[in-house]
Each structure stands twice: as structure tokens, then as C-alpha cells.
Structure 1
Amino acid sequence: MALTTLLELLERLDEAHIQMLNLAASKKQSIMDNKVDALIEILNRESKFMKLIGQLEEQRAQAAYAFLQGVGIRSNLQLNLSELSRLVFDPDDKSRLLHIQQKLSGTLQQLKAANELNQKLIEQSLTFIDYSLDLLVGRPNQEITYHHPSDKGSSAKRPGLFDARG
């Protein structure tokens, strides 16, 4: 009974991570299209999935503990799925557990790669924005040598983007 619950929770975790993977693909497109509103909506949806994944993870830990108690292990060991599979003796259940482990592992690897790509795209976008602002406003011509603070004429300051005198 506890193993069935654990397997169901692992499958639900995989489904939630697949949804996160789909959101990562949407996020990538929003970043490339510079659609900030769509990106904010995706981030809100991701936040909801992260809460769900946190809850599922807590339930998974409880189900793993219940399974361990069911096979006679009274301590709260933090076993990974490979170690846990050694305690499953039914071939069908063991096969199902190992299958969901491989599936979840693959999904998590894809999600990690998608998140790393999105992070790089965001960094490139920020670099481009900074470069664009420098072109628009101009780079400050700061000299490396020391100037006395009372010598205001020799320090060239970067002009502001907006005129505050309005």
C-alpha cells in the first residue's frame, strides 16, 4: 500500500516537472520575443508549480518513510530511489519504481538544461540593454588619475537619461 502511494506521488512529481519544462519553453520564447508581460505570467505560474512540487515532495518523503516502516526499518533513512528499490521484492513493483526513477531523472535533467539556457538568455538580454543604454547616453570619460574634489571642471559625469528640470 505504501509503495503504491509512493509510486503515484513520484508520477505526480514527474508530471509537475513536465509542466515546469513546458513553462520553461514558453519562458524561453517570451525572453527571445521580449514579452515582459508574458514572462511575468509564466513566472507566476512557475511559482504555483513550485509550491505544488514542494507539497508533493513532502508527501513523497512521508510515503517513503511509511514504506520503510512497512518493510521493518524503523529509522527515518533518507534513501534515494535506487537504494529504496533494493527493498522492493516484487518484480513488477521494482520495475515500475526503476522506470519512474529514470523518467523523473530525465525530466529533471531536461528542466535543468532549459533553466540554464533561459538564465543565459536573460543575462544576454541584460547585457544588450546595458550596451544600448551606453550607446544612447554615452560612456563616461572617467580618468584614472586623482582629481581634487574642488576641481569640478575636469570630471566628466555621465549625463542622466531623463531631464529632471521638467
Structure 2
Amino acid sequence: MAVNIDSIIDQMERLRQLHDSLLALSSKKTEALKSNDTEALQGILAQERKHVQAINGLEKKRMAVVAEWAVASGFMNEAPTVSEILAAVEGVERERLQEAYDSFIIVLADLKQQEVLNAELTKQSLQFINVSLDLLQPSLNQMNYGKPAGTVEQKRSVFDSKA
């Protein structure tokens, strides 16, 4: 059975759906970061890992479908880009592929923007923690323990002591 362009479009739409779901998780992660809800954050990170694993599996399937389509269509390159595929197809197939590609790119751009925000929130949280720790830990100069600066301790060996 030869692979048609519908298989590629189907894989792209599935990828978009998974990325859409990942975007929703990323938005939840932003709220968890803002409210400092570490338990929710841990749950969200576990769900994100599952999504990433599913995306990796689906991406492998998409690459296999594209390679099969490329061979059946007589492409020299077994891994053509979407632009190359768009140039090779015409009519309704081209429009549908273009729509799937455009919607996928929009979701990816939104996801990237959301993750940049999450990275910035995480960075600010870490900076706050570091400042708080610095305020809680006294510096060595402020400590009252030990001998005053400038005093020299004499060391005696066991044999030099008086009986």
C-alpha cells in the first residue's frame, strides 16, 4: 500500500494535538510557578515527560511515513522537508498540508513563548531563594565564635608539657 499525503497530514495533526496539550500543561506550570505550588509543579512535570515521550514516538512514526511517501513519490531525499513536500503536491492536498503545517507552527511558537516565560519565572524564583539564603547565613566576619583576630595560639607537643 502506497502512502498518500493524508497519512502525513494525519501525523502532523496528531503532533499538533499533543503539542496543544503540552501548551495547556505549560500554562498550568506557569500558574504553579506563580503560586509557588511545588506539589502541582511536580505533577505537571511528570505529565510533561509523558507528553514528550509520546511526541518522540509520534515523530518517529511521522518520519517513517514521510520516508515511505518520499520513496513512493520518487524523491531523491528520503527525508524531505515540509516545504519540499508542499512543492511536490498540488490542489486540495497542498492546501490541507499547508493548513496542518501552519496550525502546527502556531502551536509550536506559542509553546516556545510559554516555556520562555516559565524559564524566566524559574530563574527569578532561584534568584529569590539565593538572596534569602544569603540573608539567613551570616558571613564569617560576623561570627562571634572562635578566637579574636590577631591572637596567635602557641602549640606545644606532648613532650614539651610540664609534668
Residues 1:128 and 2:128 are matched in the alignment: yes
- Residue-by-residue CA offset, 1:70-121 (whole Å, 9 max, x unaligned): 2122542x322111111113x1110000011111111101111111110010
TM-score (norm 1): 0.80
Q: Whose radius of gyration is greater, 1 or 2?
A: 2
Distance in 2 of aligned mates of 1:141 and 1:98: 66
Runs of at least 4 residues off by over 6 Å: none
* Structure 2 unaligned spans of 5+: 150-163
Any stretches of 5+ residues in structure 1 without a counterpart?
143-151, 155-166
Identity of aligned residues (%): 30
Residues 140/120 of structure 1: CA separation in 2 closer, same or farther (3 Å cut):
farther
Is residue 63 of structure 1 aligned with residue 65 of structure 2? yes
Q: Which residue type is aligned with residue 7 of structure 2?
A: T
Kindly tell me: are residues 141 and 64 of structure 1, through their superposed partners in 2, closer, same or farther at Cα, counting changes over 3 Å? farther
RMSD: 1.9
TM-score (norm 2): 0.82
Taking the aligned partners of 1:5 and 1:39, their CA distance within structure 2 comes to 36
Q: Which residue of 1 aligns with 2:104?
A: 104
CA–CA distance in 2 between the matches of 1:20 and 1:41? Answer: 13
Contact 1:82–1:98 (8 Å) recurs in 2: no
Q: How many pairs align? A: 144
